């Protein structure tokens, strides 16, 4: 890996760390960045890398939320105890994961094949750019409208502990939308929470919990597919994965802290406007220069 490629990986790690937790679509940003600043790697490796780099972001969540996520501890007498409330939360997370797991296993390959131009040869760039741009704009409008709607409503759920199994399933159904690039996994989860009157802070907290099994499982699935297709990692590719994950981890720590402080006093409308502006720019660049 030469210095230029190293800088590309660092930049992709920064993009991942910022966009994974803000509701603006990390996958959409990574694919757009790669169109203008391509890594000199195979399409198969990059497809896997853009998912596996999320492991760095996961580790940031685990580090920051460890005490709230780990269900085992010690009591005052140093005897082991199980924290039932944390176990209960993880059961709700499992329920929320079910819709996404089913849809991903059933349609992930078909959607990727369509977007990569396997259905219509020679249309990869067009399909990818247009789909990402439209998803950015559509859900950007969604964020703005939902936030305006919520100004007239009082949250029914104000903390993550108040989320029920029904709430978890509904949020999981919304997360299915993120299978389309440009949607945003965190964005779809947060929109789902806001629609069923979960507060911003509770929706964001649940998003962090939900991200751990979802992103870990999806990363393992991509790596397994990569090896099953007959590919192996070269030494430079191992370094690309390590550097990308490390940078994503460090940036994610800063971004998660920022987001949790930001939403205590502000809504998500600013991210909606960002999505709309970026989507319009992507469409303009594509139709003017492609």
Flag whether pLDDT at 111 surpasses 80.
no
Helices 124-150 and 84-115, packing angle to 10 deg: 140
Strands (E), the chain: 72-74, 80-82
Half-sphere exposure (CA, 13 Å, Cβ side) for 223?
A: 14
Torsion of CA 100, 102, 103, 109, to 10 degrees: 120
pTM metric for this prediction: 0.89
Domain ranges of the chain: 3-289
pLDDT in tens, 244-280: 999 999 999 999 999 999 999 999 999 999 999 999 9
Flag whether pLDDT at 121 surpasses 50.
no
What percentage of the chain exceeds 90 in pLDDT?
A: 72
How high is the pLDDT of residue 119?
46
Instruction: Tell me phi and psi for residue 77, to 5 degrees.
Output: -95, 10
Q: For residue 288, name the pLDDT band (cuts at 50, 70, 90).
A: confident
**Bridge-partner residues for 82, per DSSP?**
72
For Cα atoms 19, 101, 99, give the angle at the middle one, nearest 5 degrees: 95
| Lowest mean pLDDT across 29-33, 41-45, 122-126 | 122-126
């Amino acid at each position: 890996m030469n210095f230029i490629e190293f800088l590309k990986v660092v930049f992709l790690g920064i993009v991942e760390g910022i966009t994974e937790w803000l509701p603006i679509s990390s996958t959409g940003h990574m694919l757009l960045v790669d169109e203008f600043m391509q890594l000199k790697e195979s399409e198969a490796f990059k497809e896997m890398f853009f998912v596996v780099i999320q492991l760095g972001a996961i580790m940031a969540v685990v580090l920051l939320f460890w005490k709230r996520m780990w269900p085992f501890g010690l009591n005052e007498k140093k005897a082991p105890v199980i924290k039932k409330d944390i176990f209960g939360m993880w059961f709700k997370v499992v329920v929320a994961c079910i819709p996404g797991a089913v849809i991903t296993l059933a349609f992930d390959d078909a959607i990727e094949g369509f977007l990569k131009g396997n259905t219509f040869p020679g249309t990869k760039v067009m399909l990818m750019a247009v789909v990402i741009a439209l998803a950015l704009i559509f859900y950007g409008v969604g964020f703005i409208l939902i936030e305006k709607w919520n100004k007239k409503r009082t949250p029914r759920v104000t903390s993550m502990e108040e989320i029920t199994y029904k709430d978890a399933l509904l949020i999981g159904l919304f997360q299915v939308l993120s299978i389309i690039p440009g949607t945003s996994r965190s964005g779809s989860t947060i929109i789902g929470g806001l629609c069923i009157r979960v507060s911003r802070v509770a929706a964001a907290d649940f998003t962090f919990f939900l991200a751990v099994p979802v992103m870990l499982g999806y990363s393992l699935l991509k790596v397994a597919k990569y090896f099953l297709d007959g590919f192996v990692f070269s030494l430079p590719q191992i370094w690309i994965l390590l550097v990308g994950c490390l940078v994503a981890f460090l940036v994610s720590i800063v971004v998660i802290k920022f987001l949790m402080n930001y939403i205590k006093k502000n809504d998500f409308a600013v991210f909606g406007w960002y999505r709309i502006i970026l989507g319009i720019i992507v469409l303009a660049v594509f139709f003017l220069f492609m």
